């Protein structure tokens, strides 16, 4: 992405009075830094789903887009593995009727391709008032929430820092395929960490605009990594 395009994503959200990027804009920003995101389209509702689905590979995922909803799954706002236009329509209708979505402002529904199966990691960033942006990585789910098994570094990180961040995780062995699981591509994770936290990375480039970044999850297979959820807080 040219700097202007990335700048436009952030200034557009600010001009609209938003304090966060919506998922579609967040993923466009990541893509601009060379991070893989699923192919996606935004559906306004259940009309024109033929056009929305045109060119997308099934199965797809549907997700509610709402500035009022932080955890889409908790609100019933994520449906995976949908194989037809009819299934996508039913998913959207179900979301529009869901108790936690009915009263919310809904911008639309993100329809996107499924990422190849893999380990779910979290890659994020936050801005320390004194030291500036920090980049973090951890394994998703209970590892982050219950065990707080994450590692942080001040930006910019070099490749060796990204390596150390991964080796530091208590769950590091899981990424190497412990207990019969498949390994996660170490190269792909390091690449994403550099694109987020490196010298030319997103966090430093937008240090003045982005106060928090959260890719949760980054799905990492043996061969690559895809950012399937993205949240950026501005300010
Ligand atoms: P939220 O965190 O707001 O509940 P996510 O966008 O993270 O919503 O989706 C919830 C879960 O659904 C993810 O953790 C992941 O397991 C799965 N998921 C979401 N999008 C995809 C996708 N494109 N491909 C594969 N799995 C997905
Ligand atoms: Mg998520």
Proximal ligand: closest to the CA of 65:
1
Q: Is the pLDDT of residue 3 over 70?
A: no
Cα–Cα distance between 77 and 164 in angstroms, integer? Answer: 36
State pLDDT tens for residues 77-110. 999 999 999 999 999 999 999 999 999 999 999 9
Residue 135 main-chain phi, psi, to 5 deg? -115, 145
Return the SS3 of 155. coil
Ligand 2 centroid to residue 62 C-alpha, Å: 13
Scanning the structure block, which residue is given the tokens 């996660």?
184
Residues with CB under 5 A from ligand 2 (ion): 216, 229
Q: Is the pLDDT of residue 179 over 90?
A: no
Scanning the structure block, which residue is given the tokens 């591509």?
185
**Average per-residue pLDDT in the chain?**
95
Residue 111 Cβ contacting ligand 1 at under 6 Å? no
Ligand 2 centroid to residue 74 C-alpha, Å: 10
| Per-residue model confidence (pLDDT) at position 2 | 60
Q: Please count the other Cβ atoms lying within 10 Å of the Cβ belonging to residue 152.
A: 16
Q: Is the pLDDT of residue 1 over 80?
A: no
- pTM of the predicted protein model: 0.96
CA angle 6, 9, 15 (to 5 degrees): 135
Residue 73 Cβ contacting ligand 1 at under 6 Å? yes
State pLDDT tens for residues 15-48. 999 999 999 999 999 999 999 999 999 999 999 9
Cα–Cα distance between 175 and 72 in angstroms, integer? Answer: 26
Residue 166 main-chain phi, psi, to 5 deg? -70, -40
| Per-residue model confidence (pLDDT) at position 146 | 82
Ligand 2 centroid to residue 219 C-alpha, Å: 11
* Six token digits for residue 38: 């699923």
Residue 63 main-chain phi, psi, to 5 deg? -135, 140
Q: What is the mean pLDDT of residues 200-212?
A: 97
| Per-residue model confidence (pLDDT) at position 144 | 80
| Per-residue model confidence (pLDDT) at position 180 | 86
Ligand 1, atom 22, residue with closest C-alpha: 114
Quote the longest CA-to-CA distance of the chain. 52
What is the sign of the dihedral through the CA atoms of 7, 38, 123 and 141? positive
Scanning the structure block, which residue is given the tokens 């601009």?
32
Ligand 1, atom 23, residue with closest C-alpha: 114
Ligand 1, atom 24, residue with closest C-alpha: 114
Residue 149 main-chain phi, psi, to 5 deg? -85, 85
Q: How confident is the model at residue 147 (pLDDT cuts 50, 70, 90)?
A: confident
Q: How confident is the model at residue 124 (pLDDT cuts 50, 70, 90)?
A: very high
Beta-carbon contacts of 201 under 8 Å, excluding residues fewer than 6 positions away, are 33, 135, 155, 156, 157, 194, 195
Return the SS3 of 135. strand
Scanning the structure block, which residue is given the tokens 């299934």?
87
């Amino acid at each position: 992405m040219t700097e202007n395009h990335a700048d436009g994503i952030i200034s557009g959200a600010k001009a609209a009075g938003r304090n966060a990027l919506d998922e579609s804009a967040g993923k466009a920003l990541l893509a601009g830094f060379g991070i893989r995101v699923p192919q996606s389209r935004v559906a306004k509702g259940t009309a024109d789903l033929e056009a929305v689905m045109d060119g997308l590979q099934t199965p797809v995922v549907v997700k509610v887009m709402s500035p009022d909803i932080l955890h889409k799954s908790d609100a019933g706002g994520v449906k995976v593995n949908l194989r037809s236009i009819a299934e996508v329509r039913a998913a959207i209708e179900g979301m529009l009727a869901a108790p936690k979505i009915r009263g919310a402002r809904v911008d639309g529904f993100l329809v996107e391709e499924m990422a190849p199966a893999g380990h779910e990691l979290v890659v994020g960033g936050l801005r320390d008032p004194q030291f500036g942006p920090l980049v973090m990585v951890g394994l998703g789910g209970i590892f982050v929430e219950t065990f707080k098994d994450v590692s942080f570094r001040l930006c910019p990180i070099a490749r060796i820092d990204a390596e150390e961040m991964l080796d530091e995780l208590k769950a590091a062995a899981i990424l190497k395929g412990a207990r019969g699981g498949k390994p996660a591509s170490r190269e792909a994770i390091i690449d994403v960490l550099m694109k987020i936290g490196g010298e030319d990375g997103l966090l430093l480039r937008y240090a003045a605009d982005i106060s928090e970044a959260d890719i949760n999850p980054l799905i990492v297979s043996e061969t690559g990594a895809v950012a399937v959820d993205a949240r950026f807080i501005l300010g």
